[in-house]
Amino acid sequence: MSKTRKIYFTRLAGRCLVLLTGIWAGLNHPEYFQILEGMNFFKGLSPLHLLWLIWVTDILVQIVPIKNKVPLGSQKLWANRFRPIREKINYEALKQYIVSTTLSAYRVFLLWFFLILALGLLHYAGVIQDLTLFMISLFFYVCDLICVLIWCPFRLIMKNRCCTTCRIFNWDHLMMFSPLIFVGGFYALSLVVLSTAAWLVWELCVMMYPERFWDHSNAALQCSECTDKLCTQYCQKLRPQDESSKSGGLNSPTC
């Protein structure tokens, strides 16, 4: 197991602890969550301030280029992680790849939009409260790393090989915090705004620098160059196929 994968399993355990603690606090001390209301963020300190700081730091790490300690899948939009392939890039194939993956990405976006819309309607009808929406975001916080480390349902739509090549890798915070849109207040909306900014940066880079997102134009994304090894369960399934296929065609895996 790679060092990065070990770190991510530790982070998953930490997120599970955060979720369980949040559920306990919500059931026994709902007053702890008054910070979610209006400008209560500035009226005292609580453990939720620490959680907010962790989340904001995670988002900012996606918005600025960092050379080390951050998985390539999240940082491949930046020039310092781009290594052009030795041969000439097939720009027509690159265009087809970006169009195809973008269509798949926005199928995911549409599904997520309707999920969040349903939550908003339930909130408007009084079926669920602000605290419930916050707990849903905590649940998504855990699910984010489950998708990376164990199994990702979005791969059924995206058809991506692994997280390193994933078209929607940096959509995680926007998806995580989108239920908080209906909560209002500085705490929730600041996370929504920052995660939207990270999403916009990612999408702009896809349009402006598509070659950074394809493993047939960016050699750093090829499995032979992988050091993160975050989602090795997928690579292990692909390796036997790769060993029997040395052609290197556009649709052949590189694991």
Is pLDDT at 245 greater than 70 in this prediction?
no
Please tell me the predicted confidence (pLDDT) of residue 243: 39
Share of the chain above pLDDT 90, in %: 74
Q: Which is more confident, 230 or 82?
A: 82
The per-residue DSSP string of 211-230 comes to: GGG-TTTBGGGSGGG-S--T
Please tell me the predicted confidence (pLDDT) of residue 65: 87
Q: What is the pLDDT of residues 119-163, one digit of tens each?
A: 999 999 999 999 999 999 999 999 999 999 998 999 889 988 888
Please tell me the predicted confidence (pLDDT) of residue 242: 44
Is pLDDT at 93 greater than 90 in this prediction?
yes
Please tell me the predicted confidence (pLDDT) of residue 44: 87
37 closest CA partner among 166, 156, 171, 188: 188
Tell me the two tokens of residue 131: 């605290």
Q: How many helices (H) and strands (E) does the chain have?
A: 9, 0
Query: DSSP state, 69?
Result: S
Share of the chain above pLDDT 70, in %: 90
Is pLDDT at 241 greater than 90 in this prediction?
no
Q: What is the pLDDT of residues 198-222, one digit of tens each?
A: 999 999 999 999 999 999 999 999 9
φ/ψ of residue 39, rounded to 5: -105, 25
Domain residue limits, the chain: 3-243
Q: What is the pLDDT of residues 179-192, one digit of tens each?
A: 999 999 999 999 99
Is the Cα dihedral 23, 12, 120, 57 positive or negative?
positive
Is pLDDT at 252 greater than 80 in this prediction?
no
Rounded to two decimals, the pTM is 0.88
